[in-house]
Chain A
Amino acid sequence: MKKFLKKAKGVFAVGLAAVLLSTSAVATEDYDSVLPDYLQSDESGGTLNYNVATGEVTYTPASETESYSNETEGFSPGYDPFANEDDDSENSIQPYMADNRVKVNNPQNDGRCRNTVYIEVTLQSGKVISGSGFMIGPNAVATCGHLVCDDGFGEDGKSWSWAKSAKVYPALNTGTNQAPYGFAYSTNFICGRDWAKNLNFEDDWGIIILDSNIGNKVGWLGLRWQSDSYNGEHIMVNGYPNIKGNSWDMYMCRGTISASYPKLLYSKNAYISQGNSGGPCYIDSNETGYTAIGISSHHPWNSDDAVFCRITETVFNEFIKYRVSTL
């Protein structure tokens, strides 16, 4: 019996060895170790403001952000410097493509499009990424968080960092008047601390402060937040998707909101793709006109649905701060 017991122990030892051998060494990257000091604490909420010239970062706790609305909703009107002039918006957005998108040929002539911007972001490594955004004030652009800081933005092409700089062109197009309002450079990048630390798409909003008041030339969309669902709401989405190597033409698509979550909005029939990041998701409201309710963000884990970072009360309050020039 003892012999048998010894054999059984041997089998057990072999089994244990097999398990240990089958558990390969895990190659891990200690994510926290590459984050800057100001992201190491467990605090949540608040915003970070990165000065592009000095590299200085300022943190504003959530408790210090002023509220511009009541408890269930908020609205801030848009501004259109050409409001009294005719536009050719209907002529400029035909025909729709099979995927429900339409190229906007003359975005400068369309009040809901001229404030959409093309953004070219240079990373610390020299790599360039492009995306979209929309003016929210004279020198402020709303966009997504993953255009202002992210993993892979560092000098080594791998680590977390802020972007190095951004160049912003309202209403860029490849027609005869390609940059009708010129361009402006970034002076500051702003995003929620929760985005910077966790890179969670629920907090994927950002702001780019510009070195000129280019927004006064093109205007800005209205902004809205509400605690109620947006399900069934008809939306329009502007942006600069890369189509066959060209990312300098604006496209608009239409759709409906299919699901509303506290921080995200989903659409099954609005088609967005690479380059759309940061563009406005907006409604045409009888009461408030063209009004942004979300920001193009990502495709979810299992489908090509369009997912927008929702303009929540927090995001709304951050955006409203920049309705006036900071220059």
Chain B
Amino acid sequence: MTVKRIISSIMVCAAVFTLSSCKSTVKDDFYEDDLPQPTISEIPEMTTEFTEYDGNTEKISVTITNNSNKNFNHGEQFFLQKLDDEWRYIKCQGPWNLANYMIKPSQDVITTFDLKEHVRLPLLPGLYRIGFYEDKGESTPVAEFTIKE
């Protein structure tokens, strides 16, 4: 009876450890490597609300300051990259609406990226940057943030 209990305890422990290590298997399909690197622009400025987030954060808000003399336009679609040896794309999936978001010269706006809707969570710890996806190679501002351990 006691031996049975020991064996079942060990089996439960093994299962528990296997489940808790599932995080590392997420990494295998975490990245999207087929896309060219984005063209980054310094203007407008984009900063995240906080510098550090939890890996399960569902939404990240950024302030965009258009300190240029022309409208800055962007779509809903965003990209997310994590810095390993180089910036690598995290898989982001639609659906994406097709509205055109305009930020006028000297205007500050808050935009919220819905990670829960488009990215598989949790994000692994590390340094990230987020920006607007441009399929025609146009430049985009990015905002950096850290996912804490």
Residues of A near any B CB (own CB < 8 A): 1, 4-5, 8-9, 11-12, 15-16, 18-19, 22, 24-29, 120, 125-131, 144, 146-147, 151-152, 156-158, 201, 204, 240-242, 244-245, 247, 272-277, 296-302, 304, 307
Contact = CB atoms under 8 A, between A and B. Distances in A.
Contacts of A127: 101-103, 107, 109, 111
A125 B111 CA distance: 10
Nearest to B10: A8
A240 B17 CA distance: 54
Interface of B: 2, 5-6, 9-10, 12-13, 16-17, 19-20, 23, 53-59, 61, 70-71, 73-77, 93-104, 107, 109-112, 114, 122, 135-136, 138
B95 A300 contact: yes
Contacts of A18: 16-17, 20
Name B's interface SS: mixed
- What does DSSP make chain A's interface, helix, strand, loop or mixed? loop
A160 to B, nearest CB: 11
3 closest pairs, A vs B, by CB? A157-B110, A274-B75, A275-B100
Q: Identify which of B2, B55, B95, B97 gathers the most chain A CB atoms within 10 Å of its CB.
A: B97
Contacts of A297: 97-98
Contacts of B112: 151-152, 157-158
18 contacts: A8-B9, A15-B20, A19-B16, A22-B20, A26-B58, A27-B53, A128-B101, A130-B99, A152-B112, A244-B138, A274-B76, A274-B98, A275-B98, A277-B97, A277-B99, A296-B98, A299-B77, A299-B96
Contacts of A4: 6
B73 A147 contact: no
Contacts of A298: 94-98
